[in-house]
Amino acid sequence: MQKIYLLTPGPTPIPPNILLKMAEPIIHHRSPQYEEVFQEVRENLLYLFQTKNEVLVLASSGTGAMEGSVASIFSRGDRVLVVNGGKFGQRWEQICSTYGLEVISLDVTWGEAVDPSLIEKHLKNDGSIRGVFTQATETSTGVVHPIKEIAEIVKNYEQTLMVVDAITGIGVFDVPMDQWNLDVVVTGSQKALMLPPGLAMASVSDKAWQFAKNSDLPKYYFNFSKELASAKKNQNSYTPAVSLIIGLREALRMIKEEGLNNLFARHERLASAARAGVLALGLPLFAKSPSNALTAVKLPQEIDGKKLVKLLRDKYGITIAGGQDHLKGKIIRIAHLGYITDFDLIIALSGLGMALGDMGYSVNLGEGVKAATEVLNGQ
Ligand X SMILES: Cc1ncc(COP(=O)(O)O)c(C=O)c1O
- Is residue 167 at the binding interface for ligand X, with CB under 6 A as the rule? yes
CB of 291 to ligand X, least distance (A): 10
CA distance 154 to 176: 15
Instruction: Please identify, using beta-carbon distances, which residue of 58 and 281 lies nearer to ligand X.
Output: 58
CB of 140 to ligand X, least distance (A): 8
Q: Which stretch binds ligand X (CB under 6 A): 69-77, 135-143, 310-318, 353-361?
A: 135-143
Q: Which of residues 36-75 bind ligand X (CB under 6 A)?
A: 61-63
Contacts of 113 (CB under 8 A, 6+ apart): 85, 143, 144, 145, 146, 288, 289
Q: Which of 168, 205, 215, 292 binds ligand X (CB under 6 A)?
A: 168
Q: Which of residues 91-130 bind ligand X (CB under 6 A)?
A: 91
- Is residue 250 at the binding interface for ligand X, with CB under 6 A as the rule? no
Instruction: Please identify, using beta-carbon distances, which residue of 34 and 286 lies nearer to ligand X.
Output: 286
Instruction: Please identify, using beta-carbon distances, which residue of 201 and 355 lies nearer to ligand X.
Output: 201
CA distance 193 to 48: 10
- Is residue 135 at the binding interface for ligand X, with CB under 6 A as the rule? yes
CB of 166 to ligand X, least distance (A): 8
Strands 161-165 vs 294-298: parallel, antiparallel or unpaired: unpaired
- Using CB under 6 A as the binding criterion, the count of chain residues that bind ligand X stands at 14
Q: Which stretch binds ligand X (CB under 6 A): 132-140, 208-216, 266-274, 351-359?
A: 132-140
244 burial type by CB count under 10 A (0-12 exposed, 13-18 middle, 19+ buried): buried
Distances, alpha carbon 331 to alpha carbons 142, 311, 335, 361, in Å:
10, 15, 13, 15
Q: Which of 54, 78, 165, 344 binds ligand X (CB under 6 A)?
A: 165
CB of 188 to ligand X, least distance (A): 4
Q: How many CB atoms lie within 10 A of CB 87?
A: 17
Contact between 268 and 292 under an 8 Å Cβ cutoff? The reply is yes
- 118-150 burial, b at 16+ Cβ within 10 Å, e below that, comes to ebbebbeeeeebbbbbbbbbbbbbbbbbebebb
Name the residues that contact ligand X, by CB under 6 A: 10, 61-63, 88, 91, 135, 137, 139, 165, 167-168, 188, 197
